[in-house]
A and B are shown apart, each in its own frame.
Chain A
């Protein structure tokens, strides 16, 4: 396609527009969304910062290859719906991805404007297009022909399966998504807090898939409720496993089972999925005391800390390395800081002490210093002898990572795994024919967008495998 000159004169020198946020003091007391989204005026300025490069590196950098250049051109032209339509060619989840994708690592990192100025705020623009289009989505309901092709099953309803469902249903497959929990979305539902991803956004974008004919089955644990073999027997011709990294690592320190000590998965599930922030109007409680300590430096740690803060707790993130080594998105770190979360760097928990009722009351920590780089390339923390100290605590959240959920692998010995992760080939296929896998069950703890990348790749491979005409059986 010949490059079309932009209809506007790019103005990359204009300052990158700051995403308006709810006041930090207000938001540290509510589950309401922190980021408010661009105003139309900001969209105009920000979209016109885009150079409309002849070779848009951002499009290549996007794991879903969203046509960023073209959707931004639409926004610059005030064609907001058009922008949404362009994104929809590749992704039905701009509301989700506009909020939780790490744009700074992908599209914005490759933005040419960033060579001289700040990169175009692609994430915030994507989000605006999504939010604008939300109202029109209902009109799209039922406007798709119902799929009549071959049956495929997607296991887990997280980001990897969701994008695979979108791609496969558009290829006319009859797609069924099986979810173990009672709500859809996987980690987007149980892991990501409401203040980062309002639930109506998630529900509406999943509803898009339902309107297109994707069938969702909740309360169904593949490996327990039915095996892979049974699904094949029931007529599914290919299966994708996107069961995520739902097996939390424990700290392995004394006192870990005291009351008030949570894994990030449990803490976040209680609050995000079971809505403990509404207790007693919701049925599942969570114990958040006066002093919360969140152990870890990733996004889950930030999420848990920011929730604890919203429950009115004095909240500390305890991280064994320094600020520069935090694995969480900078944006989340900054938001946590603004909301009053305290960071204690270069320190690690050694033991937990409880009272006579078994409630956690004190944490013993030890100071760390950074030594030689480890496998991850980051300088590894080394304990400083004799530097132990104690802090009062009544809620502890261990946000130190997770391994793939083993449920399905346990009953499917044919599935080859390596350290719990399902092994796949270059096409996303597992050791079982016509069984594919992707996302965290393959990668270990990774990100939403890379899970989507895997889901897309697997969908393509499934389609290719199922498109091959089987040679006619020769009658004996």
Chain B
């Protein structure tokens, strides 16, 4: 049955992996592409990066950080249940070149989203250095899977409980400089992607950022996910989600992603009231 949850695993506090039956998407997806789900009939449409797939089980894997109403609904579901809606694969695949010296950077739940990109670079014959960030040791996710595809894997934790003490960009600056890498991919919180872009400006590094703006249909119809890239306005859902990190207007992206924050807080409260009845 399409959309059925086959497995569920909590990777870290509030970060949950779902494996979902999706034969068509499993067959067609490429690293960097995403899906849109509605866990329940009344849910919002939310975009999620495809993390992995299994041809044997005709499934795809997604990793969800439960922070909003809809993500909480998703992680509350159990194996055997089916997502109400699942559509994809959406967006353009990530740029994967061969023979490159690649740095892959991610923070938080972005680490999961980095996995397929790191894997694709690895399989394409590039040398992959993965720099991953987490709040604390207990928030590190998919360490083993990343070990399997990265030539070098280093962790940075904000509290220093594991690996480098600090953030991913500080870690990058501690190990690399202009010329160290030829290509890179960054995914995670906007401040981190922005800092990575700033830190590497002038390094001769082609850095791709995978952005995650507010999105509704995911097919280029609404334009809600528009991002300024250099002089151009792009739709992340169909032109992206990957853009040249050195050209993305991250400040604008930050403001646009905050547009509904207050309203969403209200919705959460509203729900709590219903729950308490």
Provide the residues of chain A in CB contact with B260, threshold 8 Å.
Answer: 285, 287
A269's partner among B24, B217, B267, B270 (CB-CB below 8 A) is B217
A407 contacts B219, C-beta separation under 8 Å: yes
A283 contacts B223, C-beta separation under 8 Å: no
Asked whether B90 is an interface residue with its Cβ less than 8 Å from the other chain, the reply is yes
A182's partner among B38, B223, B255 (CB-CB below 8 A) is B38
A285 contacts B256, C-beta separation under 8 Å: no
User: In the bound complex, how far is the Cα of B219 from the Cα of A416, in angstroms?
Assistant: 20
Asked whether A406 is an interface residue with its Cβ less than 8 Å from the other chain, the reply is yes
- Given A283-B43, A283-B70: A225 and B219 within 8 A (CB)? no
Asked whether B10 is an interface residue with its Cβ less than 8 Å from the other chain, the reply is no
Provide the residues of chain A in CB contact with B78, threshold 8 Å.
Answer: none
- Which of A218, A226, A266, A410 counts the most chain B CB atoms within 10 A? A266
Asked whether B226 is an interface residue with its Cβ less than 8 Å from the other chain, the reply is yes
Provide the residues of chain A in CB contact with B222, threshold 8 Å.
Answer: 248, 263, 265-266, 269-270
B261 to chain A, nearest CB (A): 10
Provide the residues of chain B in CB contact with A220, threshold 8 Å.
Answer: 87
B216 contacts A221, C-beta separation under 8 Å: no
A439 to chain B, nearest CB (A): 15
- Given A257-B228, A283-B44: A270 and B216 within 8 A (CB)? yes
Asked whether A148 is an interface residue with its Cβ less than 8 Å from the other chain, the reply is no
A219 contacts B87, C-beta separation under 8 Å: yes
B184 to chain A, nearest CB (A): 26
B240 to chain A, nearest CB (A): 14
B219's partner among A250, A259, A280, A405 (CB-CB below 8 A) is A405
User: In the bound complex, how far is the Cα of B268 from the Cα of A283, in angstroms?
Assistant: 10
- Residues 39-80 of chain B: 1 if any A CB is under 8 Å from the residue's CB, otherwise 0? 000111100000000000000000000000110000000000
A150 to chain B, nearest CB (A): 23
B236 to chain A, nearest CB (A): 12
B256 contacts A265, C-beta separation under 8 Å: no
B267's partner among A218, A247, A279 (CB-CB below 8 A) is A279
A357 contacts B255, C-beta separation under 8 Å: yes
Asked whether B220 is an interface residue with its Cβ less than 8 Å from the other chain, the reply is yes
A283 contacts B267, C-beta separation under 8 Å: yes
B267 contacts A274, C-beta separation under 8 Å: no
A218's partner among B25, B85, B217 (CB-CB below 8 A) is B85
User: In the bound complex, how far is the Cα of B217 from the Cα of A300, in angstroms?
Assistant: 18
B233's partner among A257, A262, A274, A280 (CB-CB below 8 A) is A257
- Residues 245-277 of chain B: 1 if any A CB is under 8 Å from the residue's CB, otherwise 0? 000000010011011100110110011000000
A219 contacts B264, C-beta separation under 8 Å: no
User: In the bound complex, how far is the Cα of B271 from the Cα of A263, in angstroms?
Assistant: 29
A221 contacts B219, C-beta separation under 8 Å: yes
B263 contacts A279, C-beta separation under 8 Å: yes
- Which of B38, B221, B267 counts the most chain A CB atoms within 10 A? B221
Provide the residues of chain A in CB contact with B133, threshold 8 Å.
Answer: none
- Residues 195-228 of chain A: 1 if any B CB is under 8 Å from the residue's CB, otherwise 0? 0000000000000000000000011110011100
A187 to chain B, nearest CB (A): 10
- Residues 7-27 of chain B: 1 if any A CB is under 8 Å from the residue's CB, otherwise 0? 000000000000000001100
User: In the bound complex, how far is the Cα of B28 from the Cα of A406, in angstroms?
Assistant: 19
A-side interface mostly? loop
Provide the residues of chain B in CB contact with A266, threshold 8 Å.
Answer: 216, 222-224
Asked whether A98 is an interface residue with its Cβ less than 8 Å from the other chain, the reply is no
Asked whether A358 is an interface residue with its Cβ less than 8 Å from the other chain, the reply is yes
A257 contacts B90, C-beta separation under 8 Å: no
B44 contacts A274, C-beta separation under 8 Å: yes
Provide the residues of chain B in CB contact with A247, threshold 8 Å.
Answer: 220-221
Asked whether B238 is an interface residue with its Cβ less than 8 Å from the other chain, the reply is yes
B42 contacts A282, C-beta separation under 8 Å: yes
Provide the residues of chain B in CB contact with A407, threshold 8 Å.
Answer: 219-220, 238
A248's partner among B223, B256, B258, B270 (CB-CB below 8 A) is B223
- Residues 281-325 of chain A: 1 if any B CB is under 8 Å from the residue's CB, otherwise 0? 111110100000000000000000000000000000000000000
Asked whether A246 is an interface residue with its Cβ less than 8 Å from the other chain, the reply is yes
Provide the residues of chain A in CB contact with B255, threshold 8 Å.
Answer: 258-259, 357-358
Total count of chain B residues near the partner, CB < 8 A: 41
Asked whether B88 is an interface residue with its Cβ less than 8 Å from the other chain, the reply is yes
User: In the bound complex, how far is the Cα of B270 from the Cα of A220, in angstroms?
Assistant: 33
User: In the bound complex, how far is the Cα of B255 from the Cα of A258, in angstroms?
Assistant: 8
User: In the bound complex, how far is the Cα of B69 from the Cα of A418, in angstroms?
Assistant: 43
Provide the residues of chain A in CB contact with B221, threshold 8 Å.
Answer: 190, 246-248, 265, 269, 405
A406's partner among B69, B238, B259 (CB-CB below 8 A) is B238
Provide the residues of chain B in CB contact with A273, threshold 8 Å.
Answer: 216
Provide the residues of chain B in CB contact with A358, threshold 8 Å.
Answer: 252, 255-256, 258
- Given A266-B224, A405-B221: A225 and B216 within 8 A (CB)? no
A225 contacts B220, C-beta separation under 8 Å: no
Asked whether B86 is an interface residue with its Cβ less than 8 Å from the other chain, the reply is yes
Residue of B nearest to A268 (CB): B222
Provide the residues of chain A in CB contact with B217, threshold 8 Å.
Answer: 180-181, 190, 246, 269
Asked whether A109 is an interface residue with its Cβ less than 8 Å from the other chain, the reply is no
- Residues 221-263 of chain A: 1 if any B CB is under 8 Å from the residue's CB, otherwise 0? 1001110000000000000000000111010000011111011
Provide the residues of chain A in CB contact with B228, threshold 8 Å.
Answer: 257
Residue of B nearest to A219 (CB): B87
Provide the residues of chain A in CB contact with B267, threshold 8 Å.
Answer: 279-280, 283, 285
A287 contacts B87, C-beta separation under 8 Å: no
Residue of B nearest to A408 (CB): B219
User: In the bound complex, how far is the Cα of B228 from the Cα of A225, in angstroms?
Assistant: 28
Provide the residues of chain A in CB contact with B233, threshold 8 Å.
Answer: 250, 256-257
B216 contacts A226, C-beta separation under 8 Å: no
Provide the residues of chain A in CB contact with B252, threshold 8 Å.
Answer: 257, 358
Given contacts A190-B217, A246-B220, 10 further A-B contacts (CB under 8 A): A180-B219, A182-B84, A221-B90, A225-B89, A257-B252, A260-B259, A266-B224, A283-B70, A285-B260, A287-B259
Contacts from B to A (Cβ < 8 Å): 24-25, 28, 38, 42-45, 69-70, 84-90, 216-217, 219-224, 226, 228, 233, 238, 252, 255-256, 258-260, 263-264, 266-267, 270-271
- Can you list 24 A-B pairs, Cβ within 8 angstroms, ordered by A? A180-B87, A182-B45, A220-B87, A224-B28, A225-B25, A226-B24, A246-B217, A246-B220, A248-B221, A248-B223, A257-B252, A257-B256, A259-B255, A259-B256, A266-B223, A270-B222, A273-B216, A274-B44, A280-B266, A283-B69, A284-B216, A358-B255, A405-B219, A406-B220
